[in-house]
Amino acid sequence: MAENKNPNLDSVTTINQDGSHFKLHPANVSGKFTTARRIIGFILIVVYATLPWIPINGNPAVFLDTANREFHLFGISLDVQDLWVLFFFISGLGFILFFVTSLLGRIWCGWTCPYTVFLDHIYRAIERAIEGDAPARKKLDAAPLTGSKILKRMLKHGLFILCSTLIAHIFISYFVSLKGLYGFIQDGPRTHTVSFGAIAFLTATLYFCFAWFREQFCVVMCPYGRIQSALSDDNTMVIGYDEKRGDPRGKASDPNNGDCIDCRRCINVCPTGIDIRDGLQLECIGCAACIDACDEIMVKIDRPKGLVRYSSHNALNGISSKIIRPRFFAYLALMLLGTTVFAVTVYKKARPFNAQINKMTGSPYQKDNTGVRNIYQVHLSNKRNVSSTFDISLQDAPEWISMSGTTNGITLTAKEKKTYNLVVIAPAEKYEGSFNFTIVVKSRNDGMTVKNTISFAGPSPKLYRKNVRMAKDAAEKEARDTPTHTDQP
């Protein structure tokens, strides 16, 4: 029967010889690693479900507002101009995963991957609660169609669809916010066809994956299992079987046998159906279920725990493992580079408001006998959900420089963007040529400032003063030459 299928290194465990899907029924297991995984899984599910509910600076903790091209991450607001920052965020996460994999193997897959978390701690938990343990589920599969079987299957798949719908709605709320999602539901699918279409597609995909496809996604579709061989080496910590201690396999009563009694308990609890005793395999997700299962048996037969354990290939073969190695430094350097650039960039760029200052197009400056003028455009963008007031000032500029235009008490409503003209004037008698200075935009809400260093352009001081003197002399001469008219008596 299919249920007695033995793992084969020459084929994928979840696929039969004819290409059909081999349905796995992992047995229940308990132990320290299983308990730890359940706690971590519960925490991750709670975090996923509650982040859209947590307001920070007027926005959800994580809000990818694609409609308005704004992104809010734990109080940090980014607009479309800051989108390039996400490259360093994503690359930093990727390099962290590389670094962790080089040290701990596929611990991400078995402990924190969203797919594994949802499958093991929601869908399989529902299945066990309704249909029982692995033997009961196998028996139910083989049983003829009865009222009891129909009721159990309808209840199970109904809950699967409900959970898939909830997960899909929560996922969409990361892009439209819970308030927006509630509005969509009130308006109905006809008003928001795209959003409801996305929810329906995501619900169907989740239901298909978690009700039927299951571990095949990890084995067939996910590329991470295939690249782990390039990220790890013989010093990487993986789940392994101590062959020297366990072989030859056989009954515990035979003193010539090793500690492994060939009970197949490690195979029965494996969510991908492999035999860990055959060594590290593509299908292994590092969930540690086989460790807890083997430790249970070792306790029962009065043998030391750890026949199957977290270890490195070198350690299992009696060779000392090395944590510090070239691969370690390479991934560490890439990880620090990505995360550091992201952190520094966010610190400098990701603010509650944007202030970009450019020179007015056209002539770089204007001049007359009173002074030289430069006109700047101040582009202000309020990222907050509340009104904000700003002041504009000059820094590192000569004392005789003056400004005209709107500079104090500039108020922008929530999410508002405006452009203001700022005129900076250098009086003729003080002008000494071009120079650099800083325009400071300060928020009255929190005192945060944005500084833009920019240049003040103008003509040659000597030529300008000469022209000013000539103009003044000409004006004075014209005034002298103009006859004065007096009233006749």
What CATH number is given to the structural domain containing 372?
2.60.40.10
Residue 425 inside a domain? The answer is yes
**Domain stop point among 270, 297, 316:** 316
**Domain stop point among 265, 294, 316:** 316
Residue 458 inside a domain? The answer is yes
Q: What is the pLDDT of residues 37-82, one digit of tens each?
A: 999 999 999 999 999 999 887 789 999 888 877 888 887 777 777 7
Residue 487 inside a domain? The answer is no
CA distance 213 to 216: 6
Residue 452 inside a domain? The answer is yes
Q: What pLDDT is attached to residue 1?
A: 37
Residue 34's domain comprises 2-316
Q: Tell me, rounded to whole angstroms, the distance of Cα 15 from its chain centroid.
A: 33
Residue 202 inside a domain? The answer is yes
State the SS3 of 289-340: HHHHHHHHHHHHCCCCCCCEEEEEHHHHCCCCCCCCCHHHHHHHHHHHHHHH
306/357 same-domain check: no
CA distance 283 to 219: 6
The domain tally of the chain equals 2
147/260 same-domain check: yes
Q: What pLDDT is attached to residue 341?
A: 83
- Distances in Å between the Cα of 420 and the Cα atoms of 355, 359, 364, 409, 449 are 11, 12, 17, 13, 17
173/247 same-domain check: yes
Q: What pLDDT is attached to residue 445?
A: 83
Residue 486 inside a domain? The answer is no
* Secondary structure element (H or E) that encloses residue 358, with its range: strand 353-359
Q: Which residues of 93-116 are buried (b: 16+ CB within 10 A; e: fewer)?
A: eebbebbbbbbbbbbbbbbebebb
Q: What is the pLDDT of residues 346-386, one digit of tens each?
A: 776 667 788 889 988 888 899 888 889 999 999 998 877 78
Q: What pLDDT is attached to residue 266?
A: 95
172/103 same-domain check: yes
310/366 same-domain check: no
For residue 487, pLDDT over 60 is answered with no
Q: What pLDDT is attached to residue 384?
A: 78
211/147 same-domain check: yes
Q: What pLDDT is attached to residue 157?
A: 97
**Domain stop point among 288, 316, 344:** 316
128 or 363, higher pLDDT: 128
312/394 same-domain check: no
Residue 86 inside a domain? The answer is yes
309/221 same-domain check: yes
CA distance 353 to 444: 12
Q: What pLDDT is attached to residue 7?
A: 63
Q: Which two tokens stand for residue 58?
A: 């007027």
Residue 125 inside a domain? The answer is yes
